[in-house]
Amino acid sequence: MAQVEKYTFDFLKKIRKNNNREWFHENKPSFTEANNNMKAFLADIEIELNKIDSIEKKKLFRIYRDVRFSKDKTPYNSHFSMSLGREGAFRRGGYFLKLTPGDSMIGGGFYNPEPKDIKLIRDHISADDKPLRKIMKSKKFKDTFGELMGEQVKSAPRGYDKDHPSIDLLKYKSMYVFKNFSDKEVLDPNFQKEVIKVYKAIRPFFDYMSDILTHDLDGVPLYT
């Protein structure tokens, strides 16, 4: 079972201080070693996650930054990010990891859903917000994540009353949760088990969102 190795975090600490192409090319073997560690770690996470869910694809994001439209022109990320997408039309949402010294997090959710999806989410919440609030108030959700996160519109979304009793939920443009981990926790041999625990805690939220994103307000399936 792969674990996050200390040499991976050592590499990330160094590239944070030496974020330039010359240093990177001189230390390419260290990057390759760290990147292979992350590939192995992600592969094991996929295996374990498939025991409790169905994963369609996994992705280890490139360390190379797209600087075309950014004021920050440093060429490399100083973190490793990974995602695991759920399989099939009736399973919605995706799991996410970001590992970096001092700022590691694990979570998942819905980042910038398509307009038709966010409209369907809002319509369901507007009609009945109790199922989502029950999930958010559950002990496991609060102990693991604290609260629902995500970008929000400043006022009421178009088509919804600003005085709607569910306006606090209707404002969300994205919906996700995450939990932070210390370096000591990430480098612990049992960290992989902690990742799966977090992903299990997300499942009630994913199951609810999958249901409302695949049915209309009358409960009729939108997909066959």
pLDDT in tens, 185-217: 999 999 999 999 999 999 999 999 999 999 999
User: What's the confidence (pLDDT) of residue 90?
Assistant: 87
Q: State mean pLDDT over 171-189.
A: 97
Strand order, beta sheet including 94-99? 55-60, 80-86, 94-99, 104-110, 175-181
**Residue 68's pLDDT band (boundaries 50, 70, 90)?**
confident
Q: Does residue 219 have a pLDDT over 80?
A: yes
Return the C-alpha torsion angle 213, 55, 7, 107, nearest 10: 20
Q: Does residue 224 have a pLDDT over 80?
A: no
Q: Are 108 and 206 in contact (CB under 8 A)?
A: yes
User: What's the confidence (pLDDT) of residue 208?
Assistant: 97
DSSP state of 177: E
User: What's the confidence (pLDDT) of residue 81?
Assistant: 98
Give the amino acid at 175.
M
User: What's the confidence (pLDDT) of residue 88?
Assistant: 85
Which architecture characterizes domain 6-213 according to CATH?
2-Layer Sandwich (3.30)
pLDDT in tens, 147-162: 999 999 999 999 999 9
User: What's the confidence (pLDDT) of residue 69?
Assistant: 83
Q: State mean pLDDT over 22-45.
A: 98
What residue spans define the domains of the chain? 6-213
pLDDT in tens, 134-151: 999 999 999 999 999 999
Share of the chain above pLDDT 70, in %: 100
In the block, residue with structure tokens 């609030």: 133
Q: What is the 3-state secondary structure (H, E, C) of 104-156?
A: EEEEEEECCCCHHHHHHHHHHHHHCCHHHHHHHHCHHHHHHCCCCECCECCCC
Q: Residue 15: which of 3, 7, 24 has the closest Cα? A: 24
Q: Residue 223: which of 92, 112, 106 has the closest Cα? A: 92
User: What's the confidence (pLDDT) of residue 1?
Assistant: 82
**Residue 30's pLDDT band (boundaries 50, 70, 90)?**
very high
Q: Are 41 and 192 in contact (CB under 8 A)?
A: yes
Average pLDDT, the chain: 96
Q: State mean pLDDT over 115-141.
A: 97
User: What's the confidence (pLDDT) of residue 71?
Assistant: 86
Q: Residue 201: which of 109, 72, 68 has the closest Cα? A: 109
Q: State mean pLDDT over 164-176.
A: 97
User: What's the confidence (pLDDT) of residue 223?
Assistant: 82
